[in-house]
Amino acid sequence: MSDKKENDQIERTGAQCVVEELERNGCDVIFGYPGGAVLDIFDSIYSSPMHLVLPRHEQGAVHMADGYARATGRPGVCLVTSGPGATNTITGLATAYIDGTPMVCITGQVPLPAIGNDAFQEADTIGISRPCTKHNRLIRSVDEIPEAIAEAFYIASTGKPGPVLIDIPKDVQKQFTTMQTPEKVQIRSYTPHFEINNKEVAALAKAINKAKRPLLYVGGGAITAKACKALSELAHKAQIPVTTTLMGLGAFPETDPLSLNMLGMHGHATANIAVSYCDLLISVGARFSDRVTGKASEFAQKAQIAHIDIDPSSIGKSVRVDYPILGDAREALEHLLPLVSENKHEKWLEQLSELKAKYPLKYTVADGDIATQYVLEEVDRICQGNAIVVTDVGQHQMWAAQYITLKEPRTFITSGGLGTMGFGLPAAIGAQLGQPDRLVVAICGDGGIQMNAQELVVAVEHKLPVKTIILNNTYLGMVRQWQEMFYERRYSGVVLSQADRPKNERIEESKPVFLPDFVKLADAHGMNAIRITKPEDVRPTLERVFADRKPWLIEVMVETETNVFPMVPPGMSVAEMIID
């Protein structure tokens, strides 16, 4: 390299490179928790235009980045220190990985020469995160950084998206480089895009045109691929009913007469019956998870199965597939559309609407008690499909999936694949940062909220008007339901109130009965809070609080021992569903 050229080129430290390349890749919010191994990067962030959000736990950082990504479709970015900072991200990464969220996670590492010496705050981050990231990489030279970050964004957001982790040793952050941003990212061993096979599409179109009882079964992949418009056109053109998975909620408006709502373990009866009786099941960006299929060998037994998926390993994994189509869901549907003839399927749709009328969602509640379902009905009535609903994991999550009417993609955010308790609040914070003008509602249980309750303060300090609803049933409700149904009501480790505990879980007859006091907890974090104990207060309180542009915590004391139905008992076939 000539002297002249060298002088022309700007020297940057590794840390400056990280920050500038993140900005260049469109990162406007970064969720970061500092520590010794990332001090240099935090120093560079100090003068960056990026909005830095300090979670109070690294797991919170990753879930926030996840919520941000799910609400916007853009990769979420987080930054943590080595050792405990990195290990604290693992649950968040695994959550994002299984649900296919695009994310870039930067971890600090001990200096290169110290790696392998059990240095202070050293962990084998690459080894630990390998099975829960789409890709990860240890940086060995400062010159790699611009390319590594560009590649990370590319890998995270193409194909089936996922989290990518970059581990950067502290000494590398301090070194200087003249390396510039690569003009183009190309990775010879990585093929995120597949050409749609026209023959396969034609074969599927023929099958659709012949089918008497076709059914579209739609997963989160349709949302990722922006396939919702094409999906709607296909469904309407050939009058094909649509059921979605938990992850697919919002991909097809539930207000559409063709919608059969969610299927699966706690899906609507009609959707599950439709799967059992359809003669052609067209899966779009769904992966036939065990929570959808029940006993896989008996799933959609009367049907031929088409599977459109970008992930080659997903096709044919759990069920036999007659029409495999590898590729982007939107492209596949757009290829399919002109080949599919208009159709009516009158008889099939009529049968389904009879089923819908026969098996509506229903619940009963004693006078004076508040049903969780009722609270969610009220949330739905107020939001009218315009809010972003984020859930935690448990019964309330399933009821939210059932009772909130989803109309648009990216308006229902939930940990589907990993089922991570503690996801709801931080993910809602991330979603609100990504969509500042929308109403964001976090639906949580009294168990799960305690897993990341420390993040309440983040909503307050960034003035995020998230509405956190705690549906307090005083139990780890979903586990209690299984213990009631399959373990003779032996409530082991699920009673959250101080009363009615099994003997070996009680320390002493203690007061107060309800611990913690969530309203006081919110108060301690500077958040407005209110507790609802009477059914008649639900509507006016929610209306008032939802209209306020401040963060709120709303605790609702709900009926304690209600079960979620319908339910396909684990390992059973969909036909063995318990309706109520």
Partner 1 sequence: MQHIITALVENKPGMLARIVGLVSGRGYNIETLNVGPTQDPTLSKMTLVVPGDAHVLRQVTLQVSKLVDVLRVTDVTGKRHIDRELILVEIATESVAQRTEILDLATLFDAEIAGVSQCSITLQLAADSNVISDFMLLLKPYHILDLSRSGRIAVAHTNNGDSPA
* Interface ranges with ligand TPP (CB under 6 A): 392-396, 419-422, 445-448, 471, 473, 475-479
The Cα 553–Cα 516 span in angstroms is: 14
For partner 1, give the closer residue by CB, 138 or 521.
138
Q: Helix count (H) and strand count (E) of the chain?
A: 23, 20
- Name the CA radius of gyration of the chain, rounded: 25
> Shortest Cβ distance from residue 134 to partner 1 (Å)?
7
Pick the catalytic residue from 16, 21, 42, 58: 58
The Cα 83–Cα 36 span in angstroms is: 10
- Residue 478 designated active-site: yes
3-state secondary structure (DSSP) of residue 33? coil
The entry of ligand TPP, partner 1, none near residue 446 (CB within 5 to 8 angstroms by kind) is: ligand TPP
Pick the catalytic residue from 120, 180, 226, 463: 120
> Shortest Cβ distance from residue 482 to ligand TPP (Å)?
9
Helices (H), ranges, 26-185: 39-45, 58-72, 84-87, 90-99, 125-129, 145-157, 170-174
The Cα 243–Cα 221 span in angstroms is: 14
Interacting residue ranges for partner 1, rule: CB under 8 A: 126-127, 130-131, 134-135, 138, 155, 187-190, 311-313, 316-317
Q: Which residues pair with 495 in a beta bridge?
A: 475
The Cα 36–Cα 44 span in angstroms is: 14
3-state secondary structure (DSSP) of residue 72? helix
The Cα 472–Cα 370 span in angstroms is: 10
For ligand TPP, give the closer residue by CB, 264 or 434.
264
> Shortest Cβ distance from residue 82 to partner 1 (Å)?
17
The entry of partner 1, ligand TPP, none near residue 419 (CB within 5 to 8 angstroms by kind) is: ligand TPP
For partner 1, give the closer residue by CB, 128 or 530.
128
- Could you tell me if 172 and 110 are in contact, meaning their C-beta atoms sit under 8 angstroms apart? no
For partner 1, give the closer residue by CB, 29 or 139.
139
For ligand TPP, give the closer residue by CB, 170 or 480.
480
Order of all β-strands in the sheet with 280-284 = 259-262, 242-244, 214-218, 280-284, 304-309, 323-326
Residue nearest to ligand TPP (CB): 445
- Residue 170 designated active-site: yes
For ligand TPP, give the closer residue by CB, 409 or 477.
477
The entry of partner 1, ligand TPP, none near residue 445 (CB within 5 to 8 angstroms by kind) is: ligand TPP
> Shortest Cβ distance from residue 14 to partner 1 (Å)?
19
The Cα 28–Cα 49 span in angstroms is: 8
Pick the catalytic residue from 478, 527, 557, 577: 478
- Residue 121 designated active-site: yes
The entry of partner 1, ligand TPP, none near residue 421 (CB within 5 to 8 angstroms by kind) is: ligand TPP
Residues 6+ apart with CB under 8 A from 87: 123, 125, 128
The entry of ligand TPP, partner 1, none near residue 126 (CB within 5 to 8 angstroms by kind) is: partner 1
The entry of partner 1, ligand TPP, none near residue 182 (CB within 5 to 8 angstroms by kind) is: none
Pick the catalytic residue from 134, 160, 170, 356: 170
> Shortest Cβ distance from residue 13 to partner 1 (Å)?
24
Angle at 57 between CA 440 and CA 134, to 5 degrees: 80
> Shortest Cβ distance from residue 136 to partner 1 (Å)?
9
Catalytic residues: 58, 120-121, 170, 478
